[in-house]
Amino acid sequence: MITVALTFVVLMVLGMPVGYVLGITGMVGMWSIDSSGRFLTMAPDRFFAGLDLFTFLAMPFFILAGEIMNRSGITDRLIGLADALVGYLRGGMAHSNMVASVMFAGLSGAATADAAAFGNTLVPAMVKKGYTRPFACAVTAAGSIIGPTIPPSNLMVIYGSLMGVSVAGLFAAGILPGLLICLVCMAVIAALGRRLNLPKSEHRPSLRRILVAFKDGFAALLMPVMILGAILGGITTPTEAASIAVFYALVMGVFVYRKVGWGDLVDMLVRTARITGVVFLIIASASIVGWWMTFNQIPQAIAAAFLAVSSEPAVIIALILALLLLIGMFMDINALLIILAPVLAPLTVTIGMDPIHAGIMIVLALNISLMTPPVGACLFVLASVTGEKIERIAHSLWPFLLAEVAVLFAVAYWPSLTLAVPRLLGLTAS
């Protein structure tokens, strides 16, 4: 066991890609069980078995749909609508960034896509209006995690597929927490408005301006409504809805907005294949590590250690959140989800948590890890596209980080916040 842990740490320190680290670590674990190599012959089978879930097909479709809609100029239209709604407030462009993140969440389902899109568009615009670049990046990073919280969400697809939890139920449960993150972050912006002397827009609220912006962005807003309506209404599976989203995005990008050509489509397919390949490699490799952990009864040992500290559900939940937030600072969240979900999910059942509630709590904790140094993916994306230093972004980010951690604890200890919508739609038994 020590050999496996050392292998993982050394390879991570050397900077090897996470997918390879997990695969090699898993095979070292299998070899440690039996040095004759008998268990190593199981590695290819576990590798492919880790991907043998039909629901996983939804991920590349959602990624491609987001790529097409983003290339179609949808981002600018959503920003225009958000600015018409809240741009007149002090710190208006920061507020617009948050509202646009909610709208964009229904298209991409990925925090890094949100960070890249707004890092290229809103951050330069905010700097031009008088915001500091670190603050503009911090607002964008804080808003980016709304993407994988409000459906569609790739993390929810992975969790639901692995743990046998309704993906539709998880999608429904993510709506209120995602909106709450937006409201809490807007409250932080409002609180910082006068202290930082954030710019205030010259235009006043205008119904005409809102209607014009809504007309421009209506086609984009219709896509998440269609996707969620089809999934939550039981008309389609998440995979079928994702393929419909790609078709709709193609029609809008090629024939309506006329911003997407066939050459662009090839580039987007290649990009989608690269992103999907990285994620699927991590999932497949992590399944080998997961098998080794199960064989050595590590999940049971971790559960026993947690329960030895306390049998109180409130304490167990706090320990789970602390573990996820701490390890999430240093490890890819897709790999972390695949390794820890089978460990933590049974523990949440033991203390009486609803499976959907537990899933949203785990997913949201990992989403927050996307904006925490030293390996927060959204921080690296923003540093790459804006040229700002990660440490300067992180310094401006801490008020938003504290606010979102507060939302996480509210979600964890207030089940109705996540289960209200699934119950309304009949997607949970509790």
How many residues belong to the chain?
430
Provide the mean pLDDT of the chain: 85
Contact 51, 235 (CB under 8 A): no
What is the phi-psi region of residue 15: left when phi exceeds 0, alpha when psi lies from -120 to 50, beta otherwise?
A: left
In the predicted structure, residue 406 carries a pLDDT above the cut 90: yes
* The pTM of the whole model exceeds 0.75: yes
In the predicted structure, residue 397 carries a pLDDT above the cut 90: yes
| Predicted confidence (pLDDT) per residue in 224-252, tens digit | 788 878 887 778 888 888 888 888 888 88
In the predicted structure, residue 138 carries a pLDDT above the cut 90: yes
In the predicted structure, residue 160 carries a pLDDT above the cut 80: yes
Least confident of 48-57, 339-348, 419-428: 48-57
Identify which has the larger pLDDT, 409 or 326. 409
pLDDT at residue 214, as a whole number:
86
pLDDT at residue 200, as a whole number:
75
Least confident of 102-106, 263-267, 340-344: 102-106
pLDDT class of 87 with cuts at 50, 70, 90: confident
pLDDT at residue 108, as a whole number:
65
pLDDT at residue 367, as a whole number:
92
| Predicted confidence (pLDDT) per residue in 282-308, tens digit | 888 888 888 888 788 777 787 788 888
In the predicted structure, residue 135 carries a pLDDT above the cut 80: yes
Domain boundaries, the chain: 50-424
Least confident of 76-85, 160-169, 394-403: 76-85
Cα separation, 200 vs 92, in Å, equals 6
Identify which has the larger pLDDT, 52 or 394. 394
Here the tokens at position 5 are 């842990």
User: Which whole number is the average pLDDT over 136-153?
Assistant: 90
SS3 string, the chain, reads CHHHHHHHHHHHHCCCCHHHHHHHHHHHHHHHHCCCCCHHHHHHHHHHHCCCCHHHHHHHHHHHHHHHHHHCCHHHHHHHHHHHHHCCCECHHHHHHHHHHHHHHHHHCCHHHHHHHHHHHHHHHHHHCCCCHHHHHHHHHHHHCCCCCCCCCHHHHHHHHHHCCCHHHHHHHCHHHHHHHHHHHHHHHHHHHHHCCCCECCCCCCHHHHHHHHHHHHHHHHHHHHHHHHHHCCCCCHHHHHHHHHHHHHHHHHHHCCCCCHHHHHHHHHHHHHHHHHHHHHHHHHHHHHHHHHHCCHHHHHHHHHHHHCCCHHHHHHHHHHHHHHHHCCCCHHHHHHHHHHHHHHHHHHCCCCHHHHHHHHHHHHHHHCCCCCCCHHHHHHHHHHCCCHHHHHHHHHHHHHHHHHHHHHHHHCCHHHHHHHHHCCCCCC
